[in-house]
């Protein structure tokens, strides 16, 4: 049904869904995957990325993430990631404004480099919750396989802690233009949040590796469907299942 909708109609749908869903730091290789690649799309092109994730401990995430690439002297991808989540029984609503650009294009070099950043807010209280900077490097192995490596910085304003962030992943298009296997490991290194006297200690899983692996089905040129299994993806040591939809126009 989506293939019969024009670009303007798709944009309206994406923006409406974004308003209804109202983060985790967003530096994804597309959709719910956390490890980013170095590329961005061409100026004037937009995407709508949507996913829902449910954990074995009953945590939940729903995300709407529209982006568009604008030429501001250099092509920059601007996005607004909106998230509704349940963590240990508590619901929250947050938003993250993101920007990303390409520094070294992959098509002219043996590897590509980009840079991305963002700032997050609690949409209920209006308080700033932090920000991030990420540098993705993409190494194309062949036409079907590429490796992504990320390094960056994350600030948790609630806990007043800075973390070094890292990640590595692969994208293997094993059925050309239709099926892609994507796997990744990522995490953050830094101190655990302080706790009040008598409270239980912060879980070590906050700084332990996080993993995801999933299949991406590309039924049409402008549509991806992701099915993903993950572990510890928000630092809570739970198993996660994710279903995502990515639209390009």
- The pLDDT tens digits of the residues spanning 62-104 come to 999 999 999 999 999 999 999 999 998 999 999 999 999 999 9
Evaluate whether 120 touches 13 at the Cβ level (below 8 Å).
no
| CA distances for 169 relative to 7, 17, 148, 150, 241, angstroms | 31, 29, 5, 9, 18
Count of structural domains within the chain: 1
Report the CATH number that the domain containing residue 197 is assigned in CATH.
2.40.160.40
Q: Say if residue 119's pLDDT is above 50.
A: yes
* Cα–Cα distance measured from residue 176 to residue 183, given in angstroms and rounded to the nearest whole number: 18
**pTM score, whole prediction:** 0.86
Print the domain residue range for 145. 2-248
pLDDT band at 58 (very low <50, low <70, confident <90, very high): very high
Evaluate whether 59 touches 88 at the Cβ level (below 8 Å).
yes
Cα–chain-centroid distance for residue 122?
18
- The pLDDT tens digits of the residues spanning 141-192 come to 999 999 999 999 999 999 999 999 999 999 999 999 999 999 999 999 999 9
- The pLDDT tens digits of the residues spanning 14-44 come to 444 333 333 344 334 689 999 999 999 999 9
* Cα–Cα distance measured from residue 215 to residue 229, given in angstroms and rounded to the nearest whole number: 9
Compute the chain's Rg from CA coordinates.
18
């Amino acid at each position: 049904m989506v293939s019969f909708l024009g670009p303007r109609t798709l944009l309206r749908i994406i923006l409406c869904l974004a308003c209804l869903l109202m983060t985790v730091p967003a530096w994804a290789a597309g959709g719910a995957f956390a490890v980013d690649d170095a590329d961005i799309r061409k100026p004037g092109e937009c995407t709508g990325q949507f996913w829902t994730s449910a954990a074995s401990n009953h945590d939940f995430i729903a995300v709407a993430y529209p982006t568009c690439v604008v030429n501001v002297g250099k092509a920059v991808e601007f996005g607004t990631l909106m998230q509704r989540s349940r963590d240990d029984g508590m619901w929250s609503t947050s938003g993250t404004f993101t920007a990303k650009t390409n520094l070294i294009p992959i098509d002219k070099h043996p590897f590509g480099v980009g840079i991305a950043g963002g700032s997050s807010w609690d949409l209920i209280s209006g308080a700033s919750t932090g920000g991030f900077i990420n540098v993705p490097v993409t190494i194309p192995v062949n036409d079907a396989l590429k490796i992504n490596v990320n390094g960056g910085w994350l600030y948790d304003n609630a806990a007043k802690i800075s973390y070094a962030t890292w990640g590595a992943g692969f994208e293997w298009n094993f059925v050309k233009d239709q099926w892609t296997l994507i796997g990744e490991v990522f995490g953050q290194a830094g101190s655990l949040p302080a706790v009040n006297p008598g409270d239980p200690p912060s879980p070590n899983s906050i700084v332990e590796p996080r993993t995801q692996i999933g299949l991406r089905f590309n039924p049409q040129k402008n549509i991806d469907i992701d099915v993903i299994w993950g572990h510890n993806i928000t630092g809570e040591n739970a198993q996660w299942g994710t279903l995502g939809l990515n639209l390009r126009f």
